[in-house]
Amino acid sequence: MWDDGSRGRHLCPRALVTLLCCSTIAACGPTGPTRLKMKFDISNRANNDYPLQVDVIVAYDPELVDDLDRLTSAEWFAQRDQRLRNNPGESNFTTWRWEITPGQDVPAVELALPGRPAQGLIFADYLSRGKHSSRFDPGLAQTVQFRHDAFRVTAGDAIEEANRGWRPPVGWTGVGLGVAGLGLGTVFAVLASNASDESKGLTPAQEKKHRELENDIDNYSTGMWISYGVGAAFLIAGAAILLWPESNDSPFREVPSSDDSSAGGN
């Protein structure tokens, strides 16, 4: 945007600062979880000592989530192949399968997710009667206990996003906006200095032009300080996002072993 004046056309500080602030939309990160974390605790007597098939699903369509949540595990496993054929490119949901045996030691699971809003479901083909399915929040670390005739899901803490996920693009966007803000502040500083130098050589007969230059100096000075402030804030925020260390604390909640007879079932 430009302003008309006796010295020609001038940069409009407020418009440029507004443009810099509006560009923060580029710093938006993913709107959902970018990784799934689960821990399996498998009893020595799980599924009456028979191998167990487990499917974990992360679905991105709320209506699909409700539809799947109404299924029993037997219904899911009967429909699974057809539902996979109807889900090309995993556009509506992503699924993983494990074959586990009683007493098996399974390492904690960490799987990549696309960063979309989602809900999770687990189905296990227990021999015992029951629904044998559970809904869960994929944004939280989940501990799944497979017991004699059912399983239980216990939610832990929110999963901290990995540096390889949203942090680099958001952090570097903040740094870039910070550098741009500082650069814009420098431009305004130079313009204010030039206007100040020009006003010093004016005669009393050029009072109108002097007032215009004084107004320009005020505008450029305002733009300079706003740009410096916004730029510094973005630069500090971007650097903090890039350098902030990830927590080493486990996000999983401590729960009694699935072999503990005092623990309740679902």
Q: Which of 144, 146, 85, 89 is nearest to 120 (CA)?
A: 144
Mean of the per-residue pLDDT values of the chain: 83
* 62 and 141 housed in the same domain: yes
Residue 6 clears pLDDT 70, i.e. is over it? no
Which secondary-structure segment (H or E) carries 27?
none
pTM, two decimal places: 0.58
For residue 74, what are the domain limits?
Answer: 35-158
Count helices and strands (H / E) in the chain.
5, 10
Do 99 and 49 have their domain in common?
Answer: yes
143 found inside a domain: yes
Same domain, 136 and 227: no
pLDDT at 177 over 70: yes
Q: Which pLDDT score, from 0 to 100, does residue 92 have?
A: 95
Query: Which tokens belong to 234?
Result: 């973005």
Residues 151 and 195 in one domain: no
- Write the burial class of residue 36 (CB in 10 Å: 0-12 exposed, 13-18 middle, 19+ buried): buried
Judge whether 263 and 150 are in contact, CB under 8 Å.
Answer: no
List Cα–Cα distances, 203 to 40, 196, 206, 208, 215, in angstroms: 85, 14, 5, 10, 17
Q: What is the pLDDT of residue 264?
A: 37
| Encoded tokens for 165 | 């996920």
Reported confidence tier of residue 172, pLDDT bands at 50, 70, 90: confident
Residue 262 placed within a domain: no
Total count of domains within the chain: 2
Helices (H), 113-263: 167-200, 207-243
pLDDT at site 247: 60
**What letter represents residue 195's amino acid?**
A
Rounded mean pLDDT of 243-259?
71
Task: Tell me which of 136, 158, 180 is where a domain ends.
Answer: 158
Note whether residue 68 is domain-resident: yes
Nearest to residue 51, comparing CAs of 42, 60, 41? 42
Taking the C-alpha atoms of residue 95 and residue 180, their distance in angstroms, rounded to an integer, is 43
Q: pLDDT grade, residue 209 (50/70/90)?
A: confident
Which position has the higher pLDDT, 238 or 137?
137
Q: Are residues 39 and 153 in the same domain?
A: yes
Task: Name the band, by pLDDT with cuts 50, 70 and 90, for residue 222.
Answer: very high
Angle, alpha carbons 110-38-94 (nearest 5°): 65
